[in-house]
Amino acid sequence: MTDLFEHDPVMVDEITALFDSVPAGTVIDATLGGGGHSHALLTRRRDISILGIDQDADAIAAALERLSEFADRVRTSRRRFDEIPEAMAEHGITEVSGALFDLGVSSPQLDRAERGFSYRNDGPVDMRMDDEQQWSAHDVVNGYDRNDLARIIRQHGDERFAKRIADAIVAARPIETTTQLAEIVTTAIPAAARRTGGHPAKRTFQAIRIEVNSELDVLPTALDQAVEATVPGGRIAVLSYHSGEDRIAKQRFTVAAGACDCPHDLPCVCGAIINVRVVRGIPKRASAEEQDRNRRSKSALLRVVEKTEPTPKGIA
């Protein structure tokens, strides 16, 4: 099982350094995956424990195996990451020292053809993070009308040929396999545009995966929950791989930092509360060396905030 989930965690050195200063206690790994980031954090900080959250039962099993040497400092919860209070209550945890969100799909999930995430390996059109969920990519690809397909491909995938791709998908139904879908998408994109930017189907597969798993819908709630649960001095870090994810992280962190509509030259009177300070206002990217070594890191953006004592903005 572990071999299936062995992968190079993105920006692991940067992440562990950012958590060097957090208070002793529990750190939430809200997207546990194979446990790569958690392993690094547990190795570096002997005074922290991990609460790992993941929808994928295989990921949790692999992570527990990988983290077995730290068994007394690892707890897990199989659920979506917008259920942080429930995961904490499950283990009697009342506050945490920080949280990490490594968004998107993990390399091991992409590599397992039967999960249906990959445009390179043949498998069913599935893409469910939680394999007990009934709704799948098959329902989206074969059930959405042309306008809805074009909308999600454009919004979730930043795909400029969304309408052409949606037309091609509708015309080719029923679509049963990932390689069939990838070929349909590739053919719908003009030949000149296929020559740059990686695999032509990448953005469409990303968009369908985000739709199936409601990833953008639940992210704002999850980030707000993480901020609420974290003690002063703790940190919340977000690794995003898509402009929509990064936009949501920036917006929720801006609100948590006390953003309001009051005039800048007058005291705040709207009741805004400063709950965090922004550690990384401009998102950090992986080093060139890491991008060469780990293709998943190429699009990664890292944003970080640190929890503060709640302060009314007008007296900050």
What are 26's two structure tokens? 């529990």
C-alpha distances out from residue 3 to 61, 63, 67, 145, 220, Å: 12, 11, 13, 39, 33
- At residue 107, does pLDDT exceed 70? no
The average confidence (pLDDT) of the chain is 92
pLDDT at 314 (0 to 100): 67
Rg (CA), the chain: 20
Please give the pLDDT value at position 1.
Answer: 46
**12-70 tens-digit pLDDT:** 999 999 999 999 999 999 999 999 999 999 999 999 999 999 999 988 999 999 999 99
pLDDT at residue number 310: 94
The two beta strands, 25-29 and 96-102, are parallel
Straight-line distance from the first to the last Cα atom of the chain, in angstroms, rounded to the nearest whole number:
50
pLDDT, tens only, 268-285: 777 789 999 999 778 999
- Judge contact between 240 and 246, C-beta under 8 A: yes
Question: What is the spatial distance between Cα 35 and Cα 43, in angstroms, rounded to a whole number?
Answer: 12
Give the largest CA-CA distance in the chain. Answer: 61
* Predicted confidence (pLDDT) per residue in 180-198, tens digit: 999 999 999 999 999 887 8
Q: Which residue stretches of the chain are H helix?
A: 12-18, 36-44, 57-66, 84-90, 107-111, 137-143, 146-157, 162-172, 178-188, 191-194, 202-212, 215-229, 243-256, 288-293
Report pTM: 0.89
CA pseudo-torsion sign 155, 157, 159, 163 = negative
pLDDT at position 263: 79
Tens of pLDDT, residues 204-217: 999 999 999 999 99
SS3 221: helix
Has residue 83 got a pLDDT over 80?
yes
**Model confidence at 7: pLDDT above 70:** no
